[in-house]
Structure 1
Amino acid sequence: MPIPHLQTNRHLLLLIKLRYGFIFLQLLVVLLAEYWFEYNLPYLTLKLIIAIELAVNMVLFYCYRGNRNAREGEYLFQVLLDILLLTILLYFAKGATNPFVSLLLIPVAIAAVTLSRRLLILVSFAALAAYSVLFFSIDSHQMHMVDMQQHFLGMWVNFVLSACVVVLVVASLAQAMRNQERFVSKLREEQLRQEQLVALGTTAAQFAHQLATPLATANLLTEELEFESSEADPLLTQLKEQLHLCSRRLQDFREMSEEVKLNSKRLIPMPELLAKLQQEVQLNFADIDVEYSIPSLENLAVRADTTLLPALLNLIQNAVQSSKRNDCQQIQIQCRLDNSAQTKQFVLTIRDFGAGLPEESLLELGATLVESEQGFGMGVLLSHATLERLGAQLRLYNHTETGAVAEILMELVILQ
């Protein structure tokens, strides 16, 4: 897998452990060449290089033991170290004429699956440079003996072609695997979120269904009390208004569910949407000082359904609660047009004056349920899912001064 900017060192530690086996094989080959085949080589120098390589690897193993973070540059250092040590070892073992010179392809293959494309090209050039140094260091007598020049040149060309194959094929396969893993991971996260939304939707539907009967009974009792009362009771009138509001909300929920089920969308004029939004804010948050900044949006509309307004109200409610927790009775709602995109966009920002959002939950908030002192982020999750279904974007970030900002971007339609 590719190494991100920062992650645990388990892959790096695996490379260091594998290098122990590679060092053992190097020592075994040197001993076989000395005592079995009796080649004429500087064995003391070769054993000294292997001992240095072992010592360096032991130091690296000590540094990276346990669980710590490792950057991509550290993986690059490991691969280049392998190329350097192997090149030095081959240099004293007849250089490019050594049949094990193709082992320089192993660091290139490792880089193809662990490093970015830019660093992979750097490692490939380093391996090619190492082979070229070994090739041009061949003794002239060996080069012309039995006309071996063409053979050695052919080996060099073969190494170049092999390196290109490793870079192109292995890197392409690694990139395809990375893309597939990201796709599967994204599908898994989306499935988890959909399961959470289905569970929340099922629970809400059950509560709405169970609420219908006692609400109808309460309406009947209120009408009987009003009929039996000889005088107009202001408390009874207020209770009747609240029950009527609950009945209307329940009816809105049923209509909303029907629209979601049929996936029916319509053009909602921006002045109508913003007027309803201000009306609902004034009705539900009468004790909050709301600072509006709304430009003229005539002849503009958004393609959405009735779930858009509740999604916006959820975000406004979160902003109100955040400001109240910080002993502030103020929020800001600003609208503007974004003409920098290819299509005209409507940008709605909702700013609170609370303590802001924790940095560790900014990326997860809205994508899944996030437990915190204030709740589980259920309102933001539902709003994010609704806006995403409507083709809108939700951005959450902390304000530079104080509080948090929820920014909604929606594509506008120009009415004829």
Structure 2
Amino acid sequence: MVRPRPPGGLRRGEVRAAADDQGGPPDAVISNASIQDTANRRNLRLLVQLRWVAVGGQLATIAAVHLLMDIPLDLPAMLAILVLLAGWNLFSQLRLRSGRTISQNELFLGLLVDVAALTAQLYLSGGAVNPFVSLFLLQVMLGAVLLDLPRAAALGAVATAAFIGLMYYSRPLVPPAQQDAAFLRLHIQGALVCFVLAAALSLFFVTRITRNLRERDERLATLRQEAAEQDHILRLGLLAAGAAHELGTPLATLSVILNDWRRLPFFRRDQEAAQELAVMETQLDRCKGIVSGILLSSGELRGEGTVRTHVRAFLDETIGAWRAQRTPRAFAWNNRVEPDAPVFSDAAFKQVLANILDNALEASPGWIGAEARRVEDRLVIEVRDDGPGFSAEMLAEVGKPYRSSKGRPGSGLGLFLVFNVMRKLGGQVTVGNRDEGGARVVLSLPLSALTPRSAP
């Protein structure tokens, strides 16, 4: 008896492969563009946060300089720039909520707005002699991290041009009572504050942006790996379909020969030979069924060869057919799916169950167990055995082709196909070892992946 656990829980030493961690439909194809859009969306959200920090910091700095240091500033113009910057930030937030694609051009435009606002504020407060002029470097650094090379270079050129312009055109800050020494000291203190602020913002935001980009690259690498696996499966499918077509003729010939043998007097007299002939006919029918299943499974449409049934009947029929063919010594099957639901008799999922059960039987000829249950809208099937279990090396590379402990050429494709079929169906495969010894494989997939669209 298996104690039910939450679908999200994993025991120590288990490995799970998820089909679609983005929450999309099982057969959704995630493109490079969508991954880039996700990264751009996260980065734009960080820029919005940084811009709010900039608005608050500039407001506090203006108040400190004007009220505490008694340095006259053009308050209406500087506050108007802050209002415009805050308005642009509100527009960016609405843009994020719209769900539309975020492009590199939008990030580039946002950074240009930040550079323009900083240039205007510096123009009104001393120009190039303002200690906060080094904040241009923060904008250029953000552009180097977020943008491609042409846009980052353009942003750097704009910031450089703005700095050069501020060297010649600006409104000077007049020190109170012409206290040059005191004003120089304030300039140095301002430079220190600017350095600390730029360092803190760089550490916080650039680190988060880099993490977003790293996650994007990891996701792209995963997609490339999945594409390579799908290509491998396609080649295997074509090879299997071709072999099935080629085997059709010799199997038909053997069937005709066996039928002719059955009418021979020798087989009528010799009961032992007749029994062996019956066994040969049974095995031949099994081979023909396997070939027919391969040809049927090669169809791309879900409606080809599928039969409408219910979960419990589908599982009992699949397990019963496997049990009749393999005749395991001890097999514990517990079908606890409640409530029942209409599904397709899916040939691919049947093969998944057969592969898992075959692996368990080969590892543990003495006993295997299987249990099916329903957890909300998901079908969960657990297969257990009393064999040696999975090694640490196997768990680290589970689901990859030709990773097997059997040591035979070509082995290791069973679990590889299981993982890929479950990914296509939108399901998950959890592989691990039992506490009492042996291996356990848990299949979990949404019932919608097997449910007829017109079913109530």
Tell me, yes or no, whether TM beats 0.5: yes
5 Å matches for 1:224-263? 224-229=260-265, 232=268, 233-258=274-299, 261-263=300-302
Q: Secondary structure of 1:199's match?
A: helix
Give RMSD over aligned pairs: 3.0
Q: Which amino acid aligns with 1:293?
A: N
Q: Deviations over 1:238-284 (max 9, x none)?
A: 222222222222222211111xx224477541122122123123212
TM-score scaled by length of structure 2: 0.54
- Alpha carbons 1:292, 1:332 under 8 Å: kept: yes
- Counterpart CA distance in 1 for 2:432 and 2:242 is 34
In structure 2, the residue matched to 1:5 is: none
Note if 1:366 corresponds to 2:399. Answer: yes
TM-aligned CA deviation for residue 399 of structure 1: 0.6
In structure 2, the residue matched to 1:188 is: 224
5 Å matches for 1:140-155? 145-155=181-191
In structure 2, the residue matched to 1:352 is: 385
Identity of matched residues, %: 24
- Counterpart CA distance in 2 for 1:173 and 1:390 is 33
* Residue 201 (structure 1) aligned to one of 224, 237, 242: 237
5 Å matches for 1:212-227? 212-227=248-263
Q: Deviations over 1:275-300 (max 9, x none)?
A: 21231232122132111222253532
Note if 1:295 corresponds to 2:347. Answer: no
Q: Deviations over 1:339-392 (max 9, x none)?
A: 3xxxx2221100011011011221321133314335432111111111221222
Note if 1:275 corresponds to 2:309. Answer: no
- Counterpart CA distance in 2 for 1:236 and 1:412 is 43
In structure 1, the residue matched to 2:416 is: 381
Q: Are residues 171 and 155 of structure 1, via their aligned partners in 2, closer, same or farther at CA, if it must alter by over 3 Å? A: same
Q: Are residues 144 and 215 of structure 1, via their aligned partners in 2, closer, same or farther at CA, if it must alter by over 3 Å? A: same
- Counterpart CA distance in 2 for 1:286 and 1:349 is 20
In structure 2, the residue matched to 1:393 is: 428
- Counterpart CA distance in 1 for 2:354 and 2:187 is 77
Note if 1:321 corresponds to 2:356. Answer: no
Q: Secondary structure of 1:262's match?
A: coil
Q: Deviations over 1:156-205 (max 9, x none)?
A: 22113322442355335423431232123112211232232223223322
In structure 2, the residue matched to 1:338 is: 375
Q: In the comparison of the two structures, how many residue pairs are matched? A: 271
- Alpha carbons 1:256, 1:307 under 8 Å: kept: yes
Q: Deviations over 1:183-233 (max 9, x none)?
A: 231122112322322232233223212211111110111122123336542
In structure 2, the residue matched to 1:118 is: none
Q: Are residues 263 and 165 of structure 1, via their aligned partners in 2, closer, same or farther at CA, if it must alter by over 3 Å? A: farther
- Counterpart CA distance in 2 for 1:285 and 1:371 is 21
5 Å matches for 1:77-92? none
5 Å matches for 1:17-36? none
Q: Secondary structure of 1:394's match?
A: strand
Higher relative contact order (CA 8 A, sep 6+): 2
Q: Are residues 176 and 271 of structure 1, via their aligned partners in 2, closer, same or farther at CA, if it must alter by over 3 Å? A: closer
- Counterpart CA distance in 1 for 2:402 and 2:342 is 32
- Alpha carbons 2:360, 2:368 under 8 Å: kept: yes
Q: Deviations over 1:20-69 (max 9, x none)?
A: xxxxxxxxxxxxxxxxxxxxxxxxxxxxxxxxxxxxxxxxxxxxxxxxxx
**For structure 1, which runs of at least 5 residues remain unmatched after alignment?**
1-98, 114-142
- Counterpart CA distance in 1 for 2:238 and 2:447 is 32
TM-score scaled by length of structure 1: 0.58
Q: Which amino acid aligns with 1:354?
A: G
In structure 2, the residue matched to 1:81 is: none
- Alpha carbons 2:244, 2:291 under 8 Å: kept: yes
- Alpha carbons 2:337, 2:373 under 8 Å: kept: no
